[in-house]
Amino acid sequence: TSITSAKIHVNGVHLHYQQTGEGSHAVLLLPGMLGCGQTDFGPQLKSMNKKRFTIVAWDPRGYGQSIPPSRDFPPDFFERDAKDAVDLMQALKFKKFSLLGWSDGGITALIAAAKYPALIHKLVVWGANASVTQEDVRIYNGIRDVSKWSEKVKKPLEEIYGHKYFAKTCEAWVDGISRFAEKSDGNICQELLPDIKCPTFIIHGEKDPLVPRAHAEYIHKHIKGSRLLMMPEGKHNLHLRFAEDFNRQVEDFLH
C-alpha cells in the first residue's frame, strides 16, 4: 500500500501526517526531538503489517511539515503535543488507537495514555523519560551545538529545516527540556504513570547514549503490568538500526 501525505486543521494549526495500511488497528507514531514521520519512521511506515494496521505518523507543530508555527517550548509543550496528537487522530475519525512513541514522542505518548485512557488501546515507548536529572542536562548540553553532530544524523534534518532553523530549534529544545531539572524531582510526568491503564511495552537500548536505563526502569516500575525489553546492542535509534526485530516485537505486542 502506498503512503499518503496530508494536512489537517487541529487546535488552530495545520498538522501534517503520513498514513498507510488498511488494518482495523490504528496506530499513531510519535517522533522525537526535531523529528517527523519522514525522518523518524521510514522502516515502520514501509514494513509494518499493512493488513493488520492503519499506521499514521505525525509531525508535531513546528516540526517537519507542520510549520508554521515555528517550534517553541513553553513549560507545557509535552501536554500540548499530547492533546494535538489525540485530537489529530480524532479528526481522522479513529475512535481508538495505539501509540508508538520514541524519545520526546514517548513522553508525549505517556501523557496522552494517562490523560485520554478511553481512546488509547495499547502503548509502546522507547528512549523515553519521565523526569530530567542533572546528568540528563549534561547529556543534552552535549548535543546543543548541531555542528558537532555526525553528518549522518544531521543531514536529513538540515534538508528539512535548513541549517538556521535546525540549529536554533535544537538550542531552544535543550533549554526547554532542561527547565524540568530545576524542579526538586526533575518531574516531567512521573505522577501520571500510575494513571496509565492500557497494556504498555517499554523498550530500551542498553547502549543508549542519550537516555540512561534508569529512566526505562522507572517507567516500567510505575506503570502497572507493563513489559520491559532491554536490547543489548540497541542505542537511541534502535527502531531504525534494528528495524526488523523492533517491528516484529511491536507487532506481536499489538496483536
Question: Which among 128, 134, 141 has a CA at the least distance from the CA of 223?
Answer: 128
Q: Could you confirm whether 103 is annotated as catalytic? A: yes
Q: How many CA atoms lie within 13 A of 165 on its CB side?
A: 17
Instruction: Specify whether the CB–CB gap between 15 and 6 falls below 8 A.
Output: no
Q: Could you confirm whether 208 is annotated as catalytic? A: yes
Residue at grid coordinates 479528526: 91
C-alpha cell at 20: 498507510
Please pick, among 103, 131, 178, 226, the residue that the annotation labels catalytic: 103
C-alpha distances (whole Å) from 9 to each of 14, 16, 70, 242, 252 are: 4, 9, 16, 34, 33
DSSP one-letter code for 182: G
Please pick, among 40, 81, 136, 208, the residue that the annotation labels catalytic: 208
Question: Which among 124, 90, 94 has a CA at the least distance from the CA of 108?
Answer: 124
List the Cα angle 4/61/2 in 5-degree steps. 10
Please pick, among 16, 25, 220, 236, the residue that the annotation labels catalytic: 236
Q: How many CA atoms lie within 13 A of 39 on its CB side?
A: 22
**Class of residue 165 by CB neighbours under 10 A (exposed 0-12, middle 13-18, buried 19+):** middle
Q: Could you confirm whether 24 is annotated as catalytic? A: no
Work out whether the CA dihedral 156, 158, 162, 166 comes out positive or negative. Answer: positive
Enumerate the active-site residues: 103, 208, 236
